[in-house]
């Protein structure tokens, strides 16, 4: 009975909104939020500053009046009543002359508004008859002149300013947001055009490229990066299609041979040579096995985790390959090795060496030379043969997949064209490189260079 699998939980609504919000909207919202904070803070600061300035102005006027009264009080003859110093003041002035907590003299307005000395000292704010006032004080001959001035106008002006700013700040923020929305839209329009061009590219035909908008260096670099990415994808897709087609073609040949002999044996069992049929099955199945094995190695070329990492004695691998080649009937094999160790996959490196040996054996006339040297921290494995060699013009493509330099030769003699591709892949996985040169004997020299570890 099949197990029921629970559907994955949907992402949070907030996450969906964040993903759905465009860059233009996010930039506009951020600009509006910053503007609102700055303008709001500036408005609060302006209101506080306005209130303080008006209060300071009223306090300065009160201080002038207090100083005037104090001067009069000091200039009056001895024994003159303190009230003479208050002569000539405005009727609505609130002024008191106080000594030791007693009121010596005060204006009529002060008498009506307060029945006691004004509270607080110089600069204090008091409420008189439900109206805010600021106090100014001046000392003279043991007496204190207290003057109170109304600061209700400061509150009214501050309230009016706040009311105006409550309208102006949101309006200015909205205007700024509209400007940012427009400018951001103009700036992102080429990006949206690029997106539309990329979206219009047919996945089955990646030869199309994105047109460079021009004008903005950033967009030109983005376009160049997109085109380079499309080029890499197109190259990889083309190589993949070619790989599948070539693999299918290579697999078809041994399968067709097996099927042909099986049909002949079924149609003419009396004339079928079982030993010959068994030999054909063995040969073709071996070819199939080698081909499938090679395809698996190459198919896993993108899986970095597939490569084992352990110390490998390369001299042992080279000597083992030389022994294998000597055990086979064919060319004379020599080996000259130095001690060298690397960190890698022993099975893959052994497979690469075997492919190099098989390639040399296939083309050598009478001699194969294997060598291993250490050169500036790099292990260099060379496999030379005395065959016809590889033309310089063909040395670049000899490591490509399914490449045979002599298409006329049979598959039995030439292989499937995957051996050297595996060598190049083994070199790449071990941070090395595979090269082709001319051997001293005039044949081909294939090199495998990989880093040495101590």
- Given a cut of 60, whether residue 9 has pLDDT beyond it is no
Between 12-21, 154-163, 191-200, 308-317, the lowest mean confidence (pLDDT) is in 12-21
CA 410 from centre of chain: 52
pLDDT band for position 407 (50/70/90)?
very low
Tell me the torsion sign for CA atoms 31, 223, 204, 424. negative
Contact present, 297 and 425 (Cβ < 8 Å) = yes
Contact present, 377 and 394 (Cβ < 8 Å) = no
Q: Give percent of the chain above pLDDT 70.
A: 86
- Give which of 142, 62, 144, 150 is closest to 96, Cα–Cα: 144
pLDDT attached to residue 409: 37
pLDDT attached to residue 5: 44
pLDDT attached to residue 177: 92
How many Å apart are CA 90 and CA 128, to the nearest integer? Answer: 18
- Give which of 332, 328, 344 is closest to 381, Cα–Cα: 344
β-bridge partners, 106:
96
C-alpha angle 182-186-190 in degrees, rounded to nearest 5? 155
How many Å apart are CA 348 and CA 342, to the nearest integer? Answer: 13
Residue range 98-102: mean pLDDT, rounded: 83
Structure tokens at 27: 């930039």
- Give which of 94, 87, 131 is closest to 115, Cα–Cα: 94
pLDDT band for position 138 (50/70/90)?
confident
pLDDT attached to residue 215: 65
| Mean pLDDT value across the chain | 81
pLDDT attached to residue 412: 46
Residue range 121-140: mean pLDDT, rounded: 85
β-bridge partners, 444:
438
Residue range 112-120: mean pLDDT, rounded: 77
pLDDT attached to residue 335: 93
DSSP annotation string for 13-62: HHHHHHHHS-HHHHHHHHHHHHHHHHHHHHHHHHHHHHHHHHHHHHHHHH
- What pLDDT, in 10s, does the model give residues 279-296? 878 877 877 777 777 777
Name which residue leads in pLDDT, 72 or 44.
44
- Given a cut of 80, whether residue 303 has pLDDT beyond it is no
DSSP annotation string for 334-374: EEEE---EEEE-HHHHHHHHHHHHHHHHHH-SSEEEEEEEE
- Given a cut of 80, whether residue 32 has pLDDT beyond it is yes
- Given a cut of 80, whether residue 26 has pLDDT beyond it is yes
Name which residue leads in pLDDT, 118 or 320.
320
| 3-state SS, residue 147 | strand
pLDDT band for position 306 (50/70/90)?
low
- What pLDDT, in 10s, does the model give residues 364-382? 999 999 999 999 899 999 9
- What pLDDT, in 10s, does the model give residues 175-230? 999 999 999 888 888 888 888 888 888 877 777 788 877 767 777 888 888 888 88
How many Å apart are CA 7 and CA 430, to the nearest integer? Answer: 42
Structure tokens at 55: 């209060």
Helix orientation angle between 274-299 and 217-267, rounded to the nearest 10 degrees: 170
Among 49-53, 111-115, 140-144, which range has the highest average pLDDT? 49-53
How many Å apart are CA 277 and CA 258, to the nearest integer? Answer: 9
């Amino acid at each position: 009975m099949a197990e029921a699998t629970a559907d994955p939980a949907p992402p949070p609504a907030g996450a969906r909104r964040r993903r759905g919000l465009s860059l233009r909207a996010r930039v506009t919202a951020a600009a509006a939020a910053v503007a609102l904070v700055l303008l709001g803070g500036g408005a609060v600061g302006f209101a506080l500053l306005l209130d303080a300035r008006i209060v300071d102005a009223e306090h300065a006027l009160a201080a002038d009046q207090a100083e005037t009264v104090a001067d009069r009080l000091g200039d009056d003859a001895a024994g003159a009543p303190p009230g003479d110093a208050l002569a000539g003041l405005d009727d609505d002035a609130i002024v008191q002359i106080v000594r030791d907590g007693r009121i010596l003299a005060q204006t009529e307005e002060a008498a009506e508004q307060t029945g006691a000395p004004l509270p607080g000292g110089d600069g204090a704010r008091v409420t008189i008859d439900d109206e805010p006032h600021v106090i100014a004080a001046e000392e003279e001959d043991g007496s204190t002149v207290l003057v109170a001035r109304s600061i209700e106008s400061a509150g009214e002006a501050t309230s009016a300013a706040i009311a105006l700013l409550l309208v102006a700040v949101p309006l200015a923020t909205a205007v700024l947001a509209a400007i940012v929305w427009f400018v951001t839209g103009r700036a992102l329009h080429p990006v949206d055009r690029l997106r539309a061009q990329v979206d219009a590219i047919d996945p089955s035909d990646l030869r199309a490229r994105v047109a460079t908008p021009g004008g903005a260096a950033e967009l030109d670099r983005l376009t160049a990066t997109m085109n380079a990415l499309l080029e890499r994808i197109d190259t990889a897709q083309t190589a993949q299609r070619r790989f599948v087609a070539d693999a299918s073609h290579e697999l078809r040949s041994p399968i067709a041979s097996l099927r042909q002999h099986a049909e002949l044996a079924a149609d003419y069992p009396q004339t079928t040579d079982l030993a010959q049929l068994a030999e054909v099955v063995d040969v073709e199945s071996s070819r199939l096995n080698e081909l499938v094995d090679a395809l698996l190695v190459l198919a896993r070329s993108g899986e970095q985790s597939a490569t084992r990492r352990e110390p490998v004695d390369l001299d042992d691998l080279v000597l083992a390959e030389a022994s294998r080649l000597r055990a086979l009937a064919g060319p004379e094999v020599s080996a000259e090795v130095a001690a060298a160790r690397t960190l890698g996959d022993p099975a893959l490196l052994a497979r690469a060496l075997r492919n190099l040996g098989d390639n040399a054996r296939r083309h050598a006339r009478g001699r194969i030379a294997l060598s291993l040297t250490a050169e500036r921290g790099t292990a260099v494995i060379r496999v030379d043969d005395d065959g016809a060699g590889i033309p310089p013009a063909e040395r670049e493509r000899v490591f490509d997949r399914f490449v045979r330099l002599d298409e006329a030769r049979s598959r039995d003699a030439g292989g499937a064209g995957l051996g050297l591709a595996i060598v190049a892949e083994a070199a790449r996985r071990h941070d090395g490189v595979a090269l082709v040169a001319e051997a001293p004997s005039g044949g081909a020299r294939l090199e495998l260079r990989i880093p040495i570890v101590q």
